[in-house]
């Protein structure tokens, strides 16, 4: 079982904790599975609302600009054809869904791989507890600095705590999530994976 140090909010070591081999000690981290999970996540974030006007949707252009023959110019049927200025767009994007899914086994393997990667590279920081008496960004900044997690920290909580969530919202790169809403992209994108002892136990209970 991998063992990690447990810190308090001041950055002082207060003990150690054994982590689940299943969740944090996988033998192989499958890069292809991680890529599939990240790709699916990013595609599912797309709204797919981009749209261009075709020649039938642009206003105007109902009258033939000049007669078919005898002018010496190319024949034209409308001033809203794609080759005209202010004309419609040929083969432009239309609203569509980018939604894609991966199966549960792949998603679980990707999550295990991401967590194992963080633990193996020393980017997993376990905190005994995070408590704030008030909404205070400065307190969270001080905690991240004490833990060496100033750059792009991901804070995983066991339950909704509005004080912590709101206090982290003004810190560039910082992000918070619950143990049951965690995703592979956020884990890999974070430079520091900050998780409470309670959240670790819940992660192991749910995913391991």
Residue range 38-72, pLDDT digits in tens: 999 999 999 999 999 999 999 999 999 999 999 99
CA 124/CA 3 separation, integer angstroms: 11
CA 183/CA 83 separation, integer angstroms: 46
Q: Give tens-digit pLDDT for 141-153.
A: 999 999 999 889 9
Q: At what angle do helices 31-45 and 104-120 cross, to 10 degrees?
A: 110
pTM: 0.82
**Which spans in 90-183 are helix H?**
104-120, 137-147, 162-168
Residue with tokens 């549960």: 104
Query: For residue 1, is pLDDT > 90?
Result: no
Domain ranges of the chain: 3-44+102-207, 47-97
Phi first, then psi, for residue 20 (nearest 5°) are -70, 130
Query: For residue 27, is pLDDT > 90?
Result: no
Q: What angle do CA 163, 165, 171 make, to 5 degrees?
A: 110
Say whether domain 3-44+102-207 belongs to CATH 3.40.50.300. no
Buried b (16+ CB within 10 A) or exposed e, 90-104: eeeeeeeeeeeebee
pLDDT at residue 2 in the model: 79
- What's the distance, CA 76 to chain centroid? 49
CA 115/CA 203 separation, integer angstroms: 10
Please choose, from the candidates 24, 42, 40, the residue with its C-alpha nearest in 3D space to the C-alpha of residue 203: 24
CA 81/CA 61 separation, integer angstroms: 8
């Amino acid at each position: 079982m991998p063992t990690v140090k447990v810190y308090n909010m001041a950055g002082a070591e207060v003990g150690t904790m054994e982590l689940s081999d299943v969740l944090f000690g996988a033998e192989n981290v499958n890069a292809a599975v991680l890529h599939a999970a990240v790709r699916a996540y990013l595609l599912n974030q797309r709204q797919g609302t981009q749209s261009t006007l075709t020649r039938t949707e642009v206003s105007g252009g109902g009258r033939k600009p000049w007669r078919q023959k005898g002018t010496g110019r190319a024949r034209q049927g409308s001033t809203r054809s794609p080759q005209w200025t202010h004309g419609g767009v040929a083969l432009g994007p239309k609203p569509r869904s980018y939604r894609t899914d991966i199966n549960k086994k792949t998603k679980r393997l990707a999550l295990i791989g991401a967590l194992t990667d963080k633990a193996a590279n020393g980017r997993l920081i376990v905190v005994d507890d995070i408590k704030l008496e008030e909404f205070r960004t400065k307190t969270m900044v001080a905690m991240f600095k004490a833990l060496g997690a100033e750059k792009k920290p991901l804070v995983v909580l066991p339950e909704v705590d509005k004080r912590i969530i709101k206090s982290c919202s003004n810190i560039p790169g910082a992000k918070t999530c619950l143990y049951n809403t965690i995703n592979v992209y956020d884990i890999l994108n974070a430079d520091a994976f900050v998780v409470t002892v309670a959240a670790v136990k819940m992660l192991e209970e749910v995913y391991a």
